[in-house]
């Protein structure tokens, strides 16, 4: 199966650009578009993005040395092109390379005949995307003929913004059966814009909760933004969403076209319900039963992931994928690193549940519930919780809510120690300490390497540890320290907040 791409002239027309030197032509047509000079650039077009941390125009020479056969740069950076490069490969000039990236994706989206699935939500969108991808890949692999194997392209990592979504579209092959896109937001209007670019045939909204409140204001604002994924939905498209009533359902129904439909799921309501769930090992792997009798296993832990699986099942069935293939796809998927991934630390008996990729209040509550389920055989249970970012004016109260949730967990689980890291998390530590002064509470204003080593020293053989916090805090450093069991211990002061 070939990897295909727009030709240089098609790129020029798509972005309304002009050649730095019209006499220079490509020695071979590009097979893709890349914005990172550290990636594989062989026979690819390098597009220089001006970002917050770096400027792609600084890496033009590196890109060409890496094998790039074409460059797209901004007109105001033409002086960054070495004369030797300008004479050897075509250089396309545009006003704004970020806009050009979107226009290239629009042009390439017109070439795609496969089904496009767009997935958004306050939590669970990456996991749901991976579940849908796993099922679709299993389906394609089992198809007879030459189209088996590579007929599904999906977002990588968390490529869900105005750069990641266009790049994912540009990675798709024209004969792909499925394109699975994760669509995120930080501010109003972003999802509508990305949906209009992606033009999905089917969309999933995992939930609309308390995330990105700093940019979206309220849960109602979050619901409005998530529902705007319908902006680009096909006229006869399908919406997969939670069954619970509330702002999200109201926003979706207000946008729903006459030929569009909704298929919903829920714990106790909806078209597909969760009727049974059993955790089957210490990693959190579970056996799940649906309301229609379909039973499957999955390696991902927790009720929240079972709900993500229900959404994936509805997507797969809408794509005419059999339950047998759905079950195989769901069972094969393992946790991504730092997304509640269980890791035993050597032969110490310590089990760490690393959920440090990111955090919002609802995600932390789900992690606490799941931790209570999977850590039943532990000698002690330890929580390491960091700040949750982008919560706006409600940040202090929402962190206090986490403190109350920790107390609730302690009533049902033998919780030995809770460590709160960051100035916002101090609100959770304060609430927990006021209610249970006998409980071991550690509050740290920041986490650095020395403190990370110290926290590792607090962990004892046989402990189960949950680590959860926003990406900016990089709490996975504690896991690195635990792997070597190094550093001196911090003497926890139960009265210290």
pLDDT of residue 488: 35
pLDDT of residue 141: 87
Q: 341-484, which class in CATH?
A: alpha beta
Considering only residues 168 and 376, tell me which one the structure prediction assigns the higher pLDDT. 168
pLDDT digits (tens, 9 = 90+) for 151-165: 999 999 889 999 999
pLDDT of residue 3: 53
Q: Is 231 helix (H, G, I), strand (E, B) or coil?
A: helix
pTM value is 0.91
pLDDT digits (tens, 9 = 90+) for 448-481: 999 999 999 889 999 999 999 999 999 999 999 9
Task: Locate the domains of the chain by residue range.
Answer: 8-96, 112-332, 341-484
Q: What is the fold, at CATH topology level, of the domain defined by 112-332?
A: 3.40.1190
pLDDT digits (tens, 9 = 90+) for 122-151: 999 999 999 999 999 999 988 765 444 459
Report the mean per-residue pLDDT for the chain. Answer: 92
pLDDT grade, residue 485 (50/70/90)? low
pLDDT grade, residue 26 (50/70/90)? confident
pLDDT digits (tens, 9 = 90+) for 275-329: 999 999 988 999 999 999 999 999 999 999 999 999 999 999 999 999 999 999 9
Q: What is the mean pLDDT of residues 414-424?
A: 93
Q: Is 370 helix (H, G, I), strand (E, B) or coil?
A: helix
Q: Is 24 helix (H, G, I), strand (E, B) or coil?
A: coil
With the CA atoms of 299, 472, 158 and 317 taken in that order, what torsion angle do they form, in degrees rounded to the nearest 10? 40
pLDDT of residue 282: 87
Strands 18-19 and 91-94: antiparallel
pLDDT of residue 269: 83
Of 182, 121, 127, 150, give the one whose Cα is nearest residue 312: 127
Cβ neighbours of 343 (radius 10 Å)? 16
Q: What is the mean pLDDT of residues 7-33?
A: 94
pLDDT grade, residue 267 (50/70/90)? confident
Query: 280: buried, middle or exposed (CB in 10 Å: 19+, 13-18, 0-12)?
Result: exposed
Phi, psi for 331 (deg, rounded to 5): -70, -25
pLDDT digits (tens, 9 = 90+) for 177-199: 999 999 999 889 999 999 999 99
Report d(CA 428, CA 264) in Å as an integer: 34
Residue 489 has pLDDT above 60, yes or no: no
Is CATH 3.40.1390.10 the classification given to domain 8-96? yes
pLDDT of residue 382: 95
Residue 495 has pLDDT above 50, yes or no: no
pLDDT of residue 2: 52
């Amino acid at each position: 199966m070939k990897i295909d791409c727009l030709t240089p002239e098609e790129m020029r027309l798509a972005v309304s650009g002009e050649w730095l030197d019209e006499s220079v032509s490509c020695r071979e047509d590009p097979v893709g578009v890349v914005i990172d000079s550290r990636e594989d650039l062989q026979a690819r077009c390098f597009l220089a993005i001006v970002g917050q941390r770096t400027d792609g125009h600084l890496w033009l020479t590196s890109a060409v040395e890496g094998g790039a056969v074409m460059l797209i740069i901004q007109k105001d950076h033409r002086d960054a092109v070495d004369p030797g490069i300008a004479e050897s490969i075509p250089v396309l000039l545009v006003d704004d390379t970020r806009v050009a990236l979107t226009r290239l994706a629009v042009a390439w989206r017109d070439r795609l005949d496969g089904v496009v699935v767009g997935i958004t939500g306050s939590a669970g969108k990456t996991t749901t995307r991976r579940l849908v991808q796993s099922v679709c890949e299993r389906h394609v692999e089992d198809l007879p003929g030459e189209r088996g194997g590579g007929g599904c392209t999906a977002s990588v990592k968390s490529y869900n913004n105005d750069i990641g979504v266009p790049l994912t579209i540009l990675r798709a092959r024209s004969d792909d059966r499925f394109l699975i896109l994760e669509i995120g937001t930080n501010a109003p209007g972003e999802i509508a814009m990305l949906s209009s670019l992606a033009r999905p045939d089917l969309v999933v909204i995992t939930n609309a909760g308390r995330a990105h409140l700093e940019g979206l204001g309220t849960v109602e604002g979050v619901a409005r933004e998530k529902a705007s994924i319908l902006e680009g939905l096909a006229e006869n498209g399908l919406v997969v969403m939670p069954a619970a009533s509330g702002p999200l359902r109201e926003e979706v129904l207000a946008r729903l076209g006459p030929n569009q439909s909704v298929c919903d799921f829920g714990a106790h309501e909806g078209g597909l319900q969760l009727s049974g769930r059993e955790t089957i090992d210490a990693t959190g792997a579970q056996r799940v039963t649906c309301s229609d009798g379909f039973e499957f296993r999955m390696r991902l832990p927790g009720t929240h992931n079972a709900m993500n699986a229900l959404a994936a099942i509805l997507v797969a069935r809408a794509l005419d994928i059999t339950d047998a293939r759905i079950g195989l796809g769901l069972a094969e998927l393992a946790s991504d690193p730092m997304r509640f991934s269980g890791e035993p630390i050597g032969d110490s008996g310590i089990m760490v549940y690393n959920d440090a990729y990111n955090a919002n209040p609802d995600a932390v509550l789900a992690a606490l519930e799941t931790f209570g389920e999977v850590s039943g055989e532990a000698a002690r249970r330890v929580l390491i919780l960091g700040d949750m970012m982008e919560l706006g004016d409600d940040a202090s109260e929402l962190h206090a809510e986490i403190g109350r949730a920790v107390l609730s967990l302690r009533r049902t689980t033998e919780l030995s120690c809770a460590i709160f890291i960051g100035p916002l998390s101090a609100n959770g530590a304060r609430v927990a300490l006021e209610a249970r002064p006998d409980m071991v509470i550690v509050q740290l204003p920041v986490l650095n390497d020395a403190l990370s080593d110290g926290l590792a020293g607090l962990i004892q053989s046989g402990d189960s540890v949950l680590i959860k916090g926003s990406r900016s805090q990089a709490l996975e450093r504690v896991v690195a320290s635990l792997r070597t069991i190094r550093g001196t211990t911090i003497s926890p002061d139960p009265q210290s907040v």
